[in-house]
Structure 1
């Protein structure tokens, strides 16, 4: 067997190919497969290329700050993979991003803005999950992105959460698992590795692990029968990746150690009890929720010992930074740690043989004209249809909205205002700020109140507490009130006893088309409310 190059292993037995690569890899190349680094700006840095060429870096993560321009993303990915061709054994790195659909869309530029997970939960069609992922994955594949940190399978247990919100499919664990499995299959059929997150579940907290370690005070039985149901289903389906989250479960672990560093949660529950043998990838280890008393290097050691296969960082570490020097020292001196690293290196190589080798050396590169694959007519038609069947109506006012009288439309999004103008050309428009999210801008709210006197009917887009303040002002003025709920519907629930609410779960133009189609009576809202009753 010729293992001088990763690309020469096509057709070889998988086990033999892995062992042939491992035999040719030194300690640095083996450990290097466990690292996934990012970079600042739009162009990869010389330091990142050094990691690729000298250590055979296992993966590169594309964040939002790298990805405002899809053409520049494609150029960056092309240079990353070309650099890997000059590394030992030509093993390509995974190129990963977060493209969940809806709210979370790290690669922007020409990519699709979609209705998102909660809209899929509202339609409850597995085919919507599958096709959403298929089209999103096709766009990522055209850019040379081979791994997607999605689907998000956090439950909508705390609807008010500002970190999960419309990223959840549903509050129901089984429905979430069914939709996530269909989503993962669509991503696979587009040639991209799906990675479910945030294990073991971020839904039962309103806190954000980017800035703090959330503590979820539930026992193991509750976790197993609620948060872990989607993971149990996905493990049985063979999902290729799962992301471990920085979340504390003290009643289960016995301390506030993050789940991402917990041997019990990863090895005992995920690996042994669920029988999962795919990749486990940490959430960003630069996040506050992952911090250890011994610093980042200790966090990295604990993450590997706990059973993670890939350590993900939102920056490029220095070649001789303490995380690397500590881990390579342990690899050379601690047989148990070396065996744990080698186990993960084999798992990473196995995933690359399954997902990247069939693409070929040219196939991991971006398309020559990647923008040609973005927002295809077929995908635009589908996302419009999906938005229509996911629109959900509730409240006391009757639909459709009656004609006549002065109408004032208020919202924070340009696409909402544009769709309102297209649908209701004689209406008055009032644009307010989306941020700050928690409170309306005082001057804007006062100006809005002055505009209310000339309106009989008011339509307000509510996407956060700031938007809810404008709806409250219209209610207090005694106006006929219609709410278009974008993103998280929990902020619109308080208005269901006063007016009509149409929830569309995203700020995509297609979602607002669906909302106004319901308000005007063009379609009936057939979406189901995906949150728990009474939430």
Structure 2
């Protein structure tokens, strides 16, 4: 019997003790309704029925409808995913109202099944929902903190606020082991470079989300940590042997599955050792069914990474991608760029015998089970009162600040320059990179850092110079630095040899008799190796407000730095030579605070 024609009972081991009502619901659904459940769509607009004119135009162009409610009526999707760039996330009360309204649209038509609303809210450098929601340290920062309790609490806070917004699925945590320091797509989204440490963090995050009543999606299977290619723009290859995969990539996923995680997200990567056909893992039967389901025993939901990414679209058209993902063993099709084309391709594949309706039933049953487990059939709505009481609460914000303090990592401190005190270094100049907030609601980083230091008793002036300061900007910054400032702080963002940031910091450190220079790296911690002239260097791992405020408290000596590198920092000239190993991190002497 072909692998895609097994019955749902054969695939799932027969109906579970509580599955009969779900099987009955499934039996009443048309094929079109079943196929709709496989899709997690994006829609444009902050309102389900009255979006802005520009969002109506975008919905019509990409979805063939005017509004989110129209999209739910047309496609009957299993879920929606929210994005800031789709203008879904203006503020918490608006987002909760949107969630309620799209759930009503789902309930109003056949088959009347609640939506599984989702978001990609990893925190750190990937956050779709911003302030006043609580923003938390991202994965690598949490890895630097080294506390399973903090990792678990961060997920519990994040999940509790998502559920108050009507969101029951989060595409986090990343189980990718950051083997390649030059990885452009994972980087600080990974908890670290050690499989054991990453496994512990992944397990703790799953427990935290589960405590909050939200389904995490552990990603990106079979492991995206050793690639120098961004799967958003191309198809990466990972050349680990099967033995290397078992040693480096598999442990966090095994740990996640041991906790009973409900959802696994696939990666748009090629691992020849796992599938010699060189198909992206998302479309690979040997990877999804052979390894994830049969070898590792995952019988929960499998969701694709976004199907709009180039990595999954380089070999096949958007119509074939949807069909091949289902044939591989995937259940949820996330964010397809042409949903009508993908839906029609699946229906055609069933009519022509390439897929069977029984295969569709397998996936729909898994999705229904997840919705039932999350309580969506009983209560899919939220309330304004829940948002007010939960989202961005004082308790959550205080906890986020304390967690962030324990992640900040001091990498260099020549002459025990830090901590600074207002009495000896009262006038501070804050320069550097001002990357846009991942949620679009906070920052700019130099201003946040300067404001935090001013609150701590310093006179701090911000003058953002950007990631590519012009010669004129550098000249102005040098003049400012030499005009009576006691120290200069620079936020750095992925410095490369000879780039404008490198030139700026190098020039600052060369001012005759000039003030000492401190860098705060706001992405990878590698910047310290390229800037030998700086007196002190800290790693914040992101540029969100919570991490910058924590860095300010560390600089001012209000808290001692306790973060430790979760990844090695290699020499820029010889990647095989490690300058700062995993576990490196300085602190202040007991009398230095």
TM-score, normalised to structure 2, is 0.81
Whichever structure has more helix as a proportion of its residues is 1
- 8 Å Cα contact 1:154/1:201 also seen in 2: yes
- Please, which of 418, 424, 446 is the counterpart of residue 404 of structure 1? 424
Q: What residue is the counterpart of 1:52 in the other structure?
A: 72
Match of 1:88, SS state, is coil
- For residues 147-175 of structure 1, the C-alpha deviation after alignment (integer angstroms, 9 at most, x for no partner) is 10011222222334342222111111111
The structural deviation recorded for 1:307 is: 0.8
Q: What residue is the counterpart of 1:303 in the other structure?
A: 325
- Please, which of 523, 546, 557 is the counterpart of residue 487 of structure 1? 523
The structural deviation recorded for 1:350 is: 1.2
Distance in 2 between residues matched to 1:307 and 1:496, nearest whole Å = 50
The structural deviation recorded for 1:291 is: 0.7
Q: What residue is the counterpart of 1:392 in the other structure?
A: 409
The structural deviation recorded for 1:210 is: 1.3
Output the aligned Cα RMSD.
2.4
Q: What residue is the counterpart of 1:460 in the other structure?
A: 490
The structural deviation recorded for 1:497 is: 6.9
Q: What residue is the counterpart of 1:432 in the other structure?
A: 465
Match of 1:75, SS state, is helix
Q: Does 1:20 align with 2:40?
A: no
Q: What residue is the counterpart of 1:354 in the other structure?
A: 373
The structural deviation recorded for 1:315 is: 5.4
- Please, which of 549, 562, 568 is the counterpart of residue 513 of structure 1? 549
Gaps of 5+ in 1: 1-11
Distance in 2 between residues matched to 1:22 and 1:365, nearest whole Å = 26
- 8 Å Cα contact 1:78/1:144 also seen in 2: yes
- Please, which of 367, 382, 396 is the counterpart of residue 399 of structure 2? 382
Match of 2:122, SS state, is strand
The structural deviation recorded for 1:415 is: 1.0
Distance in 1 between residues matched to 2:460 and 2:260, nearest whole Å = 52
Q: What residue is the counterpart of 1:7 in the other structure?
A: none
What is the 5 A alignment of 1:408-423? 408-411=429-432, 412=434, 413=445, 414-423=447-456
Q: What residue is the counterpart of 2:4 in the other structure?
A: none
Stretch deviating more after TM superposition (29-38 or 336-345): 336-345
- 8 Å Cα contact 2:118/2:168 also seen in 1: yes
Q: What residue is the counterpart of 1:3 in the other structure?
A: none
Match of 1:90, SS state, is coil
- Please, which of 346, 360, 373 is the counterpart of residue 327 of structure 1? 346
Distance in 2 between residues matched to 1:385 and 1:477, nearest whole Å = 36
Quick one: structure 1 residues 157 and 473, their matched pair in 2 at CA, closer, same or farther if it must change by over 3 Å? Answer: farther
Q: What residue is the counterpart of 1:193 in the other structure?
A: 215
Quick one: structure 1 residues 193 and 366, their matched pair in 2 at CA, closer, same or farther if it must change by over 3 Å? Answer: farther
- For residues 487-514 of structure 1, the C-alpha deviation after alignment (integer angstroms, 9 at most, x for no partner) is 3222233336742212222323332232
Quick one: structure 1 residues 277 and 391, their matched pair in 2 at CA, closer, same or farther if it must change by over 3 Å? Answer: same
- Please, which of 499, 508, 515 is the counterpart of residue 474 of structure 1? 508
Match of 1:99, SS state, is coil
Q: What residue is the counterpart of 1:277 in the other structure?
A: 299
- For residues 361-404 of structure 1, the C-alpha deviation after alignment (integer angstroms, 9 at most, x for no partner) is 3x434545624422111111111111111121122412323753
Match of 2:478, SS state, is helix
The structural deviation recorded for 1:108 is: 2.3
Q: What residue is the counterpart of 2:11 in the other structure?
A: none
Match of 1:249, SS state, is coil
Distance in 2 between residues matched to 1:50 and 1:302, nearest whole Å = 28
- Please, which of 150, 155, 162 is the counterpart of residue 128 of structure 1? 150
Match of 2:19, SS state, is helix
- 8 Å Cα contact 1:460/1:467 also seen in 2: no
Stretch deviating more after TM superposition (493-502 or 144-153): 493-502
Q: What residue is the counterpart of 1:94 in the other structure?
A: 116
- For residues 99-127 of structure 1, the C-alpha deviation after alignment (integer angstroms, 9 at most, x for no partner) is 11111111225211222212211111111
The structural deviation recorded for 1:14 is: 2.0
The structural deviation recorded for 1:181 is: 1.1
- 8 Å Cα contact 1:191/1:355 also seen in 2: yes
Quick one: structure 1 residues 159 and 29, their matched pair in 2 at CA, closer, same or farther if it must change by over 3 Å? Answer: same
The structural deviation recorded for 1:141 is: 0.8
Distance in 1 between residues matched to 2:333 and 2:448, nearest whole Å = 38
What is the 5 A alignment of 1:53-202? 53=73, 56-65=76-85, 66-202=88-224
Quick one: structure 1 residues 294 and 427, their matched pair in 2 at CA, closer, same or farther if it must change by over 3 Å? Answer: closer
Quick one: structure 1 residues 265 and 449, their matched pair in 2 at CA, closer, same or farther if it must change by over 3 Å? Answer: same
Match of 2:80, SS state, is strand
The structural deviation recorded for 1:428 is: 4.6
The structural deviation recorded for 1:261 is: 0.8
The structural deviation recorded for 1:293 is: 4.3
- Please, which of 243, 254, 266 is the counterpart of residue 265 of structure 2? 243
TM-score, normalised to structure 1, is 0.90
Q: What residue is the counterpart of 1:9 in the other structure?
A: none
Q: What residue is the counterpart of 2:479 in the other structure?
A: 450
- 8 Å Cα contact 2:519/2:534 also seen in 1: no
- For residues 12-54 of structure 1, the C-alpha deviation after alignment (integer angstroms, 9 at most, x for no partner) is 9422122111111121111111111111232345465345345
Distance in 1 between residues matched to 2:139 and 2:257, nearest whole Å = 20
Stretch deviating more after TM superposition (297-306 or 284-293): 284-293
Distance in 2 between residues matched to 1:341 and 1:88, nearest whole Å = 18
- 8 Å Cα contact 2:44/2:68 also seen in 1: no
- 8 Å Cα contact 1:396/1:496 also seen in 2: no
The structural deviation recorded for 1:186 is: 1.0
Quick one: structure 1 residues 316 and 135, their matched pair in 2 at CA, closer, same or farther if it must change by over 3 Å? Answer: farther
The structural deviation recorded for 1:96 is: 0.5
The structural deviation recorded for 1:424 is: 5.2
Count of residue correspondences: 515
Quick one: structure 1 residues 109 and 512, their matched pair in 2 at CA, closer, same or farther if it must change by over 3 Å? Answer: closer
The structural deviation recorded for 1:64 is: 1.8
Distance in 1 between residues matched to 2:215 and 2:47, nearest whole Å = 24
Q: What residue is the counterpart of 2:62 in the other structure?
A: none
